[in-house]
Chain A
Amino acid sequence: MSAVAQNSSDLATTPEQWLAENIALSNRQIFRHALARFADVDARIVLLEADLAGNGDPFPARHGNRFFNVGICEATMIDMACAMAKLGYIVFAHTFAPFVMRACEQVRNGMAYGQANVKLVCDYGGVAGAFFGPTHHAIEDLAILRAMPGMTVLSPADALETVHATQAIASHDGPVYMRLGRNRVSRLQVPRVTFEIGRANCLKEGSDVGIIAHGEVGVAVALCTAQQLEDMGVSALVMNMHTLKPLDEAAVAETAHRTRLLVTVEEHNILGGLGGAICEVVCSLGLGRRVLRLGLQDRYDAYAGSHEYLLRGHGLDAEVAAQRIVALLPHPRPMAQATRNSI
């Protein structure tokens, strides 16, 4: 893990400045720093690990007595977390997203059914594990977790949102699954509004296409796609759906009313994740919009490659996405760029 800048500002009170001073950190590293910082002021926070803390984790260094590395025992880690939560602790548990599927039943019975105050934070979401192969990819996790009653499911998009989400879930009473990626990703240059669990943020206004996205890859691709569309004369709205459950149905309805085509972008199987969730809302509320689901194409990537290579293979690429959107955009056709520019 990269060294943290010395004489740095305070992550809790001036996170934007702290992040600017620690530009090399990935979101999953930022999560660890944020949790260690919040644990400075909240003695109820404990962290369980299943042998994947890595080097340089600030939490055990600062809060050794509240850090338990259980070894390679994901299932027992979740049961332990649920029991510790019963004694009043705010229990964070971490492993890779693909490996938590082994402990699915512990998550279901202990966390969801038991409504345990456990925050399960998993990195290696999507195909961020790239060349490590599909055993280290998680393309189904959100679908599984979303189907568990009482579970809150988050997928923050960038560094600042990861800090805000970490703070929000620590204060939220109840079971949470928060999904992170693996690699360092770009930090979004968008105006920030207050982060609130269950409330989508509109990152860009638009009137032809409504793009709804989550996560480190999904939101970045959505913003790039929107830019490409603008260049083609198509006005695109971008909605950051950082909370997959509870889903902000009002934001979906509003996006549908203001545009003519809905598009979901995510680094997850197009079945059961955000794409599935939006289709459920569109149908059940009778919003009458077609939904183009961009995401992982219901297959495992059995061949090696970089993260970007694998994403391109699934069409998670702004140029490809923009072309597919324009091809599907219903009448009235968008105004030609020349016409628009002349107005």
Chain B
Amino acid sequence: MEVTTAASATGSDFESLRTRARNVRRLILQLAGTATGCHLGGCLSVVEILIALFGHVMRTQSPASCYEPSRYDSDHLVFSKGHAAAGLYAALAEFGWVDAQLLIESYNADGSPFTGHANARVPGVEFSTGSLGHGLGLGVGLALGRRLREETNSVFVVCGDGEMGEGSNWEAMQLASQHRLANLTLIVDRNGGQNDGDTESILAQRDLLQRLQTFGFQAFEVDGHDLGALCQALQAPVASRPRAVVANTQKGAGLPMLQGKHAHYATFTATQLRRALRSLEEASS
């Protein structure tokens, strides 16, 4: 089985990763343009996080060799914010796990594994998620299990900031800290929004960085759309404790037409999709 390890960071790497990010955003917009739409805001905010993980940080097996989600020789991604499934599927398509055309044609369609919340029947998706507050507990189990097997594989868990309201996360954080799980990284996609509005006004995650530190994590705060900064925080050495990266992001990032709007879920008409794709190209040129 072919295993690719994290490359060293060079300027040209990041340029190619930025191209990948644009591709993923384009695909997400196309999924928003299908009959049922997607959680657009949270999909666009998490793009760089996924690109940094798949394209630079994670040890992953070649997709062709591995349909089975428990990828014994690779690092783990637990995508806890399962409502951003379209973003995850699009990233998996960009890295060759799934066929982009098939994804667009069958997303949310009758009998398709591409459900609106992340589905483990899709190659590269390790756990079915969508109900919030499960990913970190799963990540703690993977990290403990890997340690018990005397293996060095890393575990990455991606949560939303609204999701931090779930008490189960704080249970799991205590356990990650208690067992000094240095092979575990929590990434919070802090896009500031949740279903009913601004996280700040509903259940604010004030001083999130400090809270994570208090719970025993080595915590970093970065611009979640800066691939260089993300990769650096995700790879910085930690001393026998779990790592947390608070990635400050924007809902609808990369799409100027969505700036400042509460774009939690969107279903584009054909005209809106054309406009969105044009907006994306203008923003990236």
Could you list which residues of chain A lie within 8 angstroms of chain B, going by C-beta atoms?
A: 46, 65-66, 68, 70-71, 73, 75-76, 78-84, 86-89, 105-106, 109-110, 113-114
A-B contact pairs, 14 of them (CB 8 A): A70-B175, A73-B174, A75-B168, A76-B140, A76-B171, A79-B138, A79-B141, A80-B138, A86-B69, A86-B70, A86-B127, A87-B70, A88-B70, A106-B168
Interface residues of B in 244-277 (CB under 8 A from A): none
Q: Is the CB of B175 within 8 A of A86?
A: no
Is the C-beta of B144 less than 8 angstroms from some C-beta in chain A?
yes
Q: Is the CB of B168 within 8 A of A66?
A: no
Is the C-beta of B128 less than 8 angstroms from some C-beta in chain A?
yes
Give chain B nearest CB distance to A217 CB in angstroms: 33
At the interface with chain A, which of B23-31, B101-109, B145-153, B202-210?
Answer: B145-153
Is the C-beta of B112 less than 8 angstroms from some C-beta in chain A?
no
Q: Is the CB of B139 within 8 A of A83?
A: yes
Query: Bound state CA distance, A110 and B168, in angstroms?
Result: 14
Q: Is the CB of B148 within 8 A of A65?
A: yes
Knowing A83-B142, A87-B70 are in contact, say whether A71-B175 is a contact too (CB < 8 A).
yes
Is the C-beta of B134 less than 8 angstroms from some C-beta in chain A?
yes
Given contacts A80-B141, A84-B142, 9 further A-B contacts (CB under 8 A): A68-B144, A75-B168, A76-B140, A83-B137, A83-B142, A84-B141, A87-B70, A106-B137, A113-B128
Q: Is the CB of A83 within 8 A of B174?
A: no
Could you list which residues of chain B lie within 8 angstroms of chain A, going by C-beta atoms?
A: 69-70, 78, 120, 126-128, 131, 134, 136-142, 144-146, 148-149, 167-168, 171-172, 174-175, 178
Residues of A within 8 A of B148 (CB): 46, 65-66, 84, 89
Total A-B contacts with CB atoms under 8 angstroms apart:
84
The residue in chain B whose Cβ has the minimal distance to the Cβ of A77 is: B137
Query: Bound state CA distance, A88 and B126, in angstroms?
Result: 14
Give chain B nearest CB distance to A150 CB in angstroms: 13
Query: Bound state CA distance, A312 and B138, in angstroms?
Result: 43
The residue in chain B whose Cβ has the minimal distance to the Cβ of A89 is: B145
Partner of B128, one of A65, A83, A89, A109: A109
Query: Bound state CA distance, A96 and B140, in angstroms?
Result: 22
What is the interface of chain A mostly: helix, strand, loop, or mixed? helix
Give chain B nearest CB distance to A4 CB in angstroms: 27
Partner of B131, one of A68, A81, A84, A105: A105
Give chain B nearest CB distance to A124 CB in angstroms: 21
Knowing A84-B144, A86-B70, A87-B142 are in contact, say whether A79-B149 is a contact too (CB < 8 A).
no
Query: Bound state CA distance, A81 and B140, in angstroms?
Result: 10
Residues of B within 8 A of A87 (CB): 70, 142, 145-146, 149
Q: Is the CB of A80 within 8 A of B70?
A: no
The residue in chain B whose Cβ has the minimal distance to the Cβ of A81 is: B141
Knowing A71-B175, A76-B168 are in contact, say whether A83-B69 is a contact too (CB < 8 A).
no
Q: Is the CB of A71 within 8 A of B174?
A: yes
Residues of A within 8 A of B144 (CB): 68, 80, 84
Give chain A nearest CB distance to B93 CB in angstroms: 24
Give chain B nearest CB distance to A228 CB in angstroms: 49
Partner of A110, one of B69, B138, B139, B146: B138
Highest count of chain B CB atoms <10 Å: which of A68, A78, A83: A83
Q: Is the CB of B145 within 8 A of A73?
A: no
Q: Is the CB of B175 within 8 A of A76?
A: yes
Residues of A within 8 A of B70 (CB): 86-88
Partner of A73, one of B120, B128, B142, B175: B175
Knowing A65-B148, A68-B144, A84-B144 are in contact, say whether A79-B134 is a contact too (CB < 8 A).
yes
Q: Is the CB of A84 within 8 A of B137?
A: no
Q: Is the CB of B127 within 8 A of A114?
A: yes
Q: Is the CB of A80 within 8 A of B131?
A: no
Knowing A46-B148, A65-B148, A87-B145 are in contact, say whether A79-B120 is a contact too (CB < 8 A).
no
Query: Bound state CA distance, A96 and B260, in angstroms?
Result: 48
